[in-house]
Each structure stands twice: as structure tokens, then as C-alpha cells.
Amino acid sequence: MTGMFTLIRRRRDRIAVTASLLAPLAVCAGLIPVRTSLVNTDAALLLVAFTVAVAALGNRLAGYLAAAGAAVWFDFFLTVPYERLTITRHTDAQTTALLLLVGIAATELAVAARRRGRVVEVDEALLAVVQSTATLVAAGEESGAIINRVCVQLTAMLALRGCVFEPGPGPARARGLRLEPDGVLRWGSTRWNIEEHGFPDEPVAVPARHRGQVYGAFTLEPTPGTEPSIHSRRIAVVLADLAATALADDRSPVRDA
């Protein structure tokens, strides 16, 4: 799930960077026929609007490039002397400087707002994943179907290359990397810093526990260098435990109503 969000965000950022390089040039060039009658502050406001749009679409780099491009092309095309990076009027110099500063400020506001919105968006998606699986477990869905569903969810959520489930307590006790309930990746007592290094190119075990008993482990095949969020890693453990709950229910004796 987070892997999918990351791919979408990267594609969107690439589009925004391209737009940041082309849009200010296109806007200023398009205003050439009316530049002698157009008030420069009106042109600057139009460029600010484009800068905000680019920053809202992409990342901080795109916003900064759009702000810088707007200032440069505004100077080049719309201030006297034309087609030269020279400003002779004090008001034009002020407008160019304000155009750059306002563009940077708008970029920072857009980045902060998008970051907050992204966190809410991802958290809601992760909650929906847990709710859908928990509903199936509560409804008594067969454990094999739950395990397959969890594998699919883990693969999408953590951008994995593969995921398999090994029943029994052995896999969870085996030496190697293990994802803990707090979302931390450990090798024995040693912590692996995912935020700094990303996932290593080694299998990772996620034990499936229910009421203190281990029913098996999901063995993850990570994509090296990916950095799933701490929320995603914690949800991965919750999903593994839901699979263990389904296994425990399968083994429970049937009681008469």
C-alpha cells in the first residue's frame, strides 16, 4: 500500500519538476505581445499562481524551481530592457524579488499542507486494510484464505518482492531479521535502521502470534532500499497476528450453542 503511494508520489513529483521548468517560461513568453500594456504586478500574480499550483502538485524542489524560473523569466521577458537579465527600474526589482520570496513561501506552505494530508491519507488506507481483514476473521473465514489475503496486503503495503507463510513456531525462532510489534527491525538484539538504510536484501520474519503462542511467521522478501513507514511496519505485525487468530480459531474445538 505505501509502496503504491510512493510510486504515485514519485511520478507526480517528476511531472511537477518538468512543469516547474516549462510553465514560467511558457507564461512569460505568452505575455510578450501584451507586455507593453500589462501591469507587471498583474503578471507577477499570474506567475505566483502557477508557482503555487506546481508546489501543490509536486515537492519542494519543484516549487523552488518554479519560483526561481518565474523570477528569471519575468526579468528577462517582462521588464525593461527586454530580453536581458537586467533591471533598470526600482519597482521592477522589488516585484522580481517579491515574486521569488512569495513563491518560496507558497511552496513551503503547500509542502506542509500536503505532508499533513498525505499522513492522513496513508493512515486511513492502513486502517481500512486492518478493518477488512479483521472483519473476515470475525466472520470465521478459513485461515488459508486469511493467510493468502495477508500476504497480498503485506506485499502491497511494504512494496515486497515476495511473501510466504511458514506454519509452526520454528520460523519465528530462527536466526535472522525479525519485525517486532513496535515496527522495529532486529537481528537478535541489534536494531536495523530502516529510516537510514532502507530494507536490507535479506528475508525478514514477521511472527504470527495469538495469546502468547506463535503459530508461524510470514517470511518477507523486501525490495532493497525501500523505506516503509513505521505505521506500515506496525500494521504488518497486526495483520500477521490476525492470521494467527484465524489459525487459532481453526484449531479450537467446536462448541454447541
pLDDT tops 90 at residue 89:
no
Burial of residue 52, with CB atoms counted within 10 A of its CB: 0-12 exposed, 13-18 middle, 19 or more buried: buried
CATH class of the 140-251 domain in this structure: alpha beta
Domain ranges of the chain: 2-117, 140-251
What confidence tier does 13 reach under pLDDT thresholds 50, 70, 90?
A: confident
Higher-confidence residue: 102 or 217?
A: 217
Higher-confidence residue: 183 or 86?
A: 183
What confidence tier does 253 reach under pLDDT thresholds 50, 70, 90?
A: very low
pLDDT tops 80 at residue 3:
no
Mean pLDDT of the chain: 82
Higher-confidence residue: 111 or 142?
A: 142
Higher-confidence residue: 159 or 245?
A: 245
Give the closest residue to 57 by CA, choosing from 25, 103, 14, 26.
Answer: 14
Lowest mean pLDDT among 21-30, 49-58, 171-180, 196-205: 171-180
